[in-house]
Amino acid sequence: MMAQPQAFPDKAFPVSWDQFHRDARALAWRLHAAGPFTAIVAITRGGLVPAAIVARELNVRLIETVCIESYQEYTKQGELRLIKPVAPDIMANRGKGVLIVDDLVDTGKTAKVARELLPEAHFATVYAKPMGRPMVDTFITEVSQDTWIYFPWDTGLAFLPPIREGGA
């Protein structure tokens, strides 16, 4: 696991590939009743992995992305920038029947941009923090606002000292 930068919150929540897969499948299970969905829009980059899992579980074949940049150098959330919009044919119905998927809703700023693009879509995340929670329709796990989630694609295996000895 990489060292925690000073700008990150004090609490760490490391997520393994197995745990993330279980949580994403649990999200799909919960979403099954909310569908059917004609398309999934993954918010890149974090939404790509859960969108693939949810698409497989719900048998959705039409996958689109919306590319919204918010974090610079993993340490601070900056100005939002829409790098790639959603395809016009998916936006045609204001997102009706579309599922938006992301790994996490944090402050809700990225979710707000996605909601403005597809106001009728169902918005789902695997994890949610209190500030962003009102922006999503479905999520699996809520963590405190002062927690940093370490996703498996951002980490590697490393020794951690016990918590009592300063380990995270």
CA distance 132 to 110: 9
83 and 67 Cβ atoms separated by less than 8 Å: yes
| Catalytic option among 18, 89, 106, 146 | 106
Q: 141, exposed or middle or buried, with CB in 10 Å at 0-12, 13-18, 19+?
A: middle
Angle (nearest 5°) at CA 138 between 29 and 140: 65
Q: From the candidates 89, 103, 137, 154, which is the catalytic residue?
A: 103
- 18 tagged catalytic: no
In 3D space, the residue among 118, 155, 116, 125 whose CA is nearest the CA of residue 54 turns out to be: 125
- Residue 23 annotated to the active site: no
CB of 69 within 8 A of CB of 81? yes
Among residues 102, 137, 146, 154, the one annotated as catalytic is: 102
Name the burial class of residue 92, with classes exposed (0-12), middle (13-18) and buried (19+) by CB atoms within 10 angstroms of its CB. Answer: exposed
Catalytic annotation, residues: 102-103, 106
